[in-house]
Every structure is written in C-alpha cells, then in structure tokens.
Chain A
Amino acid sequence: MNTPKSLEEISDLLLQIASLLMISGANTNRVNTSISRFASVLNCEVFNLTSQKTIILTITDNNTKKSFTRVKNIPPHKIDFAIISRISNASWNAISGQWTFQEISEKIDSIKEQKKYSKYITLIAVSFSGAGFCNIFGGDYLNMLVAFFSTLVGLFVLQFAHKKQFNGYISVFLASFIASMLACTGIIYNIGTNPEATLATSILFLVPGVALINSFTDLLDKNVINGMVRFTHGVMTVLSMALGLFLAMLIFQIK
C-alpha cells in the first residue's frame, strides 16, 4: 500500500492539480472528478468548493478519519488543453498503477514543464483562422488577406498587452480596436468584393469561446455559480471587443 504522507502535503498536491486544471480551462465537473480520482489513489476522500479565483478543499484520510482543510488562490487563467489531457491520462494511470504520492507529484511537475507552441506559430495559425472566418462570412481571397493581417496585428497587440500585464479587458479592447481599424481601411479603399465581411471577422479571434462553452457545461452540471461567473466573464470580453469595434467604426464613420 502507499506510504502514508501527511495530509498537508496531499492537500497541497491536490490543490495544485485543481488549480492547474482550472487555469487551463477545464470545466468544474472535470476538476472535481480528477482530484477525487487522485485522492482515491492516495486513500483519501476529498470535499471541495471550486470557484474561479479560489479553491477550498478538505481531505479526510480513509483509515484514521483525520481531516485537513486548505485554501488556494488561483492564478490568472491561460487556456492549455495539453495540460488537461495529460492530467486526465495521469489520473487514469494513477488508478490503474496505484501510484504513490511521489510518483503523482513528479508527474504533475513534469506536466507543468511541458513546452507550448512558439509565439510565432500561434500568431500565424490564429491569423489563418481569421482568414478562414472571413471566407465563411463570404469574403473573397483579397478580403481574407486583409483579415489575415488584421488578426495578426490584433493578436500581436493582445500578446504584448498581456506581457505588459494590462487589465485583461483593456487588452482585449486594444486588440479589437487595432484589428478593426486595419479592417476599416479595407472598407475605405474598397479592397475585395465584400470588405464588410473582413470587418465582421477581423475581431472574431478574441471571442471567448472556451469560457462561453464551459459556462453552459457548468450550468448543465448544476455548477450554477461557476457557470454564471464564466458567462459574465465571456460577456465582459464581448463587451470590450464590441467597444473597440464601435470606436473604430465611429472614427471611420462606417454605417
């Protein structure tokens, strides 16, 4: 059987896993089931309150019935599906292999160290999706080129603002403003057959898709508070996007 570890260490590990999952964009149900799986491997039972900024967790040792409670603040969210899938795989392997505390802890550390796609690949890929959206909305290839460049510059501004640690909504506003300014020049110089499609799609890369989908997933699972929080976050983001677009359209007197 597993070597008994102090409840304090176990709760720290579980909180670390929960917070990693939460910032990577997992829904609340997944966070809860993952940490109860890990807890069952360590012969504990876990009761927790998961919210967007804080996790409160109580673990109870199945043998001694002693319990321990700890609270952790969650850092800002940064969506990362690789972390979600690796933690999910690790939780199944931990159950089937009856991992020890040490093994789980090392695995989580190695998951945290995984590298991401480089900044430039992300920029190019997201710009291609901007162009793709433009095609979906009925733009021709010239429109798509303009959409590609507005998305590229917009995402660059967003990444820059994140790096300078601007408020999240202000970074979204700036990115949306700059991207739609570029798309508006497409309308003014009448580039392509359908420049309005470019304007409509140049800011779609900012849409908080994961937050909005997760909000309804949480609501379906009756995690009402988390669902409402995520929805509100999504609406705030959309609000700042629309504000940037509105300002650009006002400056160029479009519509």
Chain B
Amino acid sequence: MIPTLLNLLEVAIWSGIAAVGFAILFNIPRKAIITVFLLALGAGFIKFVLLDFHINIILASLTAASFVGLVSMPLAHRIHLPPVVYSIPAVIPMIPGYFAYETVLSIMSFIFLEVDVPKRTALMQDIFSNGFTMLFILISLTIGVSLPLLLLRKNTVKKIKR
C-alpha cells in the first residue's frame, strides 16, 4: 500500500513539474507558477489513483480536470488572475499527445508497411481506439476545466459570488 502510494506521489510530482515547464513556455505570470505546480500535482495524483483502481482513462481525466476547474474558481478571486492562466497549463500533462501521435503512427504503418491481413486488422483497431480515446479525453478535459462556468451559467468568474 505505502510503496504504491509513494510511487503515485512521485508520478504526480513529475506531472506537476511537466506542467510548470509548459507554463514557462506559455509565459505565465511568475506568481502563478506555484499554483500551476500544485494544481497539476493534485490533478495528476487524482488521475493516477483512479487509473490504479482500473478506472477508464477518460473518466479519470474528467475527474482530474474537474478538480482543476473547481479549485481554480476560488483561486481566481484570491490571486486576481483569470482562471485560464493556470487551469490550462495544469491540464497540459493530461493532453492525450501519446494517443494522438500513436493514431497517426498506426495509420502510417497501415498504409506504408503492413501487408499481413490480421496485423492490418489489429492496426485498424489501434487507429479507432487511440483516435477516439484522444478525442474523448480532449472533450473531457475541456468540460472539466470549464465546469464551474458551465454549471453556473456565467461567462466570467468575476460575476460568481464567493
């Protein structure tokens, strides 16, 4: 139990670091960096714990992104920055980049390399499962991040009362 938890925590910390790297690439204000790190750490921890319980990656991403969305709302009032500035970098480590290029790689192998019929069928399965997993993770990340605004039917966080 404890080693698993420590392992999950290590992965979560590294996803926090990954988010900070991207945050600096996107030139976020300096006072938001710690926030991004903590948000991404929390989101990563939630996601990997859920994955450890064999919950589907799409559902896990949705939960983690909703965590980011819900927490970023009170934070926006506190540090006076619009929520996108730290909620988008915080979910960047969860962007399904791997599924995205794996889809394209499968398509390329299907077209250029493979001639064997059973292997081509397996590649077709890869193309569909990876491609649609990517799409659904993206949709769930978007919904999770904008959840407070969608639920409260407001178009800016400023108008939501604390």
Are A220 and B100 within 8 A (Cβ)?
Answer: no
Which residue from chain A places its CB closest to the CB of B157 in the assembled complex?
Answer: A88
Q: Tell me whether A220 and B105 are in contact (CB under 8 A).
A: no
The B57-116 residues at the A interface (CB cut-off 8 A) are 80-82, 84-85, 88-89, 91-93, 95, 97-98, 100-101, 104-105, 108-109
Give the Cβ gap from A232 to chain B, nearest Cβ, in Å.
13
Closest chain B CB from A106 CB (angstroms):
20
State the B residues within 8 Å of A (CB). Answer: 10-11, 14-29, 32, 44, 80-82, 84-85, 88-89, 91-93, 95, 97-98, 100-101, 104-105, 108-109, 138-139, 141-143, 145-146, 150, 155-156, 158
Give the A-B pair count, Cβ closer than 8 A: 153
User: Known contacts A217-B142, A246-B105: does B27 contact A116 (CB below 8 Å)?
Assistant: yes
Question: Separation in Å of the A141 CB from the closest CB of chain B?
Answer: 11
Contacts of B22 in A (CB 8 A): 126, 129, 205, 209
List the B side residues contacting A84 at CB < 8 Å.
82, 84-85
10 A-B interface contacts by CB (under 8 A)? A26-B84, A81-B29, A121-B24, A129-B20, A130-B18, A136-B11, A136-B44, A137-B98, A238-B104, A243-B104
Shortest distance from the beta carbon of A46 to any chain B beta carbon, whole Å: 16
Please name all residues of chain A whose beta carbon is closer than 8 Å to the beta carbon of B28 when the two chains form the complex.
81-82, 85
Chain A positions near chain B (C-beta within 8 angstroms): 25-27, 29-30, 33, 79-86, 88-89, 92, 116-117, 121-122, 125-133, 135-137, 200-201, 203-205, 207, 209-210, 212-213, 215-217, 220, 238-239, 241-243, 245-246, 255
Residues A129 and B29 in contact in the complex (CB < 8 Å), given A212-B138, A220-B146, A242-B104: no
Question: Residues of A contacting B23 with CB < 8 Å?
Answer: 81
- Tell whether, in the assembled complex, residue A213 and residue B145 are in contact, meaning their CB atoms are under 8 Å apart: yes
A213 touches B95 (CB 8 A): yes
Report whether B21 and A127 are in contact in the complex, using a CB–CB cutoff of 8 Å: yes
B145 & A81 in contact (Cβ 8 Å cutoff): no
Q: Cβ of A80: which chain B residues have Cβ within 8 Å of it?
A: 26-27
Given the complex, which residues of A lie within 8 Å of B142, measured CB to CB?
Answer: 213, 216-217, 220
Whether A238 pairs with B100 at a CB distance below 8 angstroms is yes
Q: A126: which of B15, B25, B95, B97 is its contact (CB, 8 Å)? A: B25
Chain A minimum-CB-distance residue to B86: A81
B105 touches A207 (CB 8 A): no
- By a CB distance below 8 angstroms, the chain B residues around A92 are 158
**Contact in complex: A238, B101 (CB < 8 Å):** yes
Given contacts A135-B14, A212-B138, A242-B101, contact A81 B21 (CB under 8 A): no
B85 touches A207 (CB 8 A): no
Which listed residue (A216, A242, A243) contacts B139, Cβ 8 A? A216
A123 CB to nearest B CB, Å: 10
Contacts of B16 in A (CB 8 A): 132
**A255 CA / B17 CA spacing, docked (Å):** 30
Do the beta carbons of A81 and B156 come within 8 Å of each other?
no
Q: By the criterion CB–CB under 8 Å, are B15 and A82 in contact?
A: no
The 4 closest A-B pairs by CB, nearest first: A129-B21, A207-B97, A242-B104, A132-B18
CB distance from B144 to the nearest CB of A (A): 10
Task: Compute how far the CA of A192 lies from the CA of B158 in the bound complex, rounded to whole angstroms.
Answer: 49
Given contacts A81-B23, A136-B18, A217-B146, 6 further A-B contacts (CB under 8 A): A81-B29, A122-B25, A129-B22, A203-B101, A210-B26, A213-B141
Known contacts A122-B24, A128-B21, A209-B92; decide if A242 and B105 are in contact (CB<8 Å). yes
**CB–CB B105/A245 < 8 A:** yes
Other-chain residue from B17, B29, B85, B143 in contact with A132 (beta carbon distance below 8 A): B17
Please tell me if the beta carbons of A245 and B101 are within 8 angstroms of each other in the complex.
yes
Q: Are A200 and B138 in contact (CB under 8 A)?
A: no
